[in-house]
Amino acid sequence: MLFYFLSREYKNGGKSAARYLSGLLFSLFIAVIVLNAGYCFDKTLMPLSAFQWNSGQLNALKDSFIGSIPLPLPYLYIDAFDQQLFKSGSRVFDYYLNGNISRSGWASYYWIAIALKTPIPLIIFGLAGFLTMFRKKVSFHERSIWLIPFVFLIMFSTVVKIDFGIRYLLPILPFVIVAASGVMSKLLNGNKAGNIIVALFLACSILSPLKTFGNGLAYFNEFAGGPSGGHRYLVESNLDWGQNLARLKKYTDTNETSPLLVYNYGLVPASAYGIKNAGWVPCEPARAVVAISVNYLYGIDPFQHRSRECFSWLADKEPIKKLGYGLFIFDTRDDPDLNTAQ
């Protein structure tokens, strides 16, 4: 609304503020209904004072006059915000970027994540769409497309500082796609060269993610060297979130892997996928087939809080297989280096 009041359309007698506000309120009403439906309206219209929260922010609101107001939001939706606020304030999690670990995060984290996790054609056309917003004849609606991406990037780069994954910025992608589509539509206006450029854009957008088809979490663009090079820059939910146990099961079915040691990212045991007699990867050198998440190799371990030094005995070894680009397989059964280590 504030953005519209500053626009040329409003100053020139466009839509009235009342009409614009009514449209906004109706959109919010539909959004709240859809959101609650996704949670089956569980504990909707409960006040904050009805629950115990972890974060200082929600506890402060609970003790204020706001705490007694019924909220049109499901409990689990609010609880998710509470958990994120608590994590952001606790500074107990390790964040990884470009081989470095930090507990305070980096202002550049999400800018780098977007540059490496977004198909390059979309980055190019998205930037072109952004540049067009500075032209004089651009309408308020075209400029407002960039409001959400701008707010998200600023918030997560300077305020929220939860540097875990590009998933936090997924809400901005539809707006970037719309802006990129606006540039594409102009190129398609009877321009043969423009048609070729758009065709190449679409072809690259289809071909680039094929390497990670069925494992989209591990996608990295060509700036990162593709999915096989992504772990040098980003890990955790940008690469491996424990989705590779099914691939490990297939690997153990077709290869001799005894003894087998597994340290998968997450809380699901390997036995849940039918992987039997698997031990746990220790901090000491061991002769075995070792299946370990790349997250742990780089020191991201929110479950056991083991540092990357714990697995330094694997640091100089080349994995014989990378399952889903995130679960590394080492075979140290006949490794001569372990004789000295042991």
What pLDDT score does 224 carry?
96
Predicted pLDDT of residue 287: 94
Report how far apart the first and last C-alpha atoms of the chain are (Å, whole number).
68
Which pLDDT value is given to residue 15? 65
Among 256, 313, 248, CA closest to 286 = 313
CA 267, 269, 275 angle in degrees (round to 5)?
Answer: 155
Q: What share of the chain is helix, strand, coil (3-state, %, to 5)?
A: 55, 10, 40
Non-local (6+) Cβ contacts of 219 within 8 A are 117, 209, 211, 212, 227
pLDDT tens-digit profile, the chain (342 residues) = 777 777 777 777 766 778 778 888 999 999 999 999 999 999 999 999 999 999 888 999 999 999 999 999 999 999 998 988 887 666 667 899 999 999 888 999 999 999 999 999 999 999 998 888 877 777 777 777 888 888 888 888 887 778 888 998 888 999 999 889 988 888 888 778 889 989 998 999 899 999 899 999 999 999 999 999 999 999 999 999 999 999 999 999 999 999 999 999 988 999 999 999 999 999 999 999 999 999 999 999 988 889 889 999 998 899 999 999 999 999 999 988 776 545
In this prediction, residue 133 carries a pLDDT of 80
Write down the pLDDT at residue 227: 96
Return contacts of 145-149, CB within 8 angstroms, 24+ apart: 145/175, 145/178, 145/179, 146/175, 146/179, 147/3, 148/172, 148/175, 149/175, 149/176
Q: What pLDDT does residue 188 have? A: 87
- What's the pLDDT at 272? 95
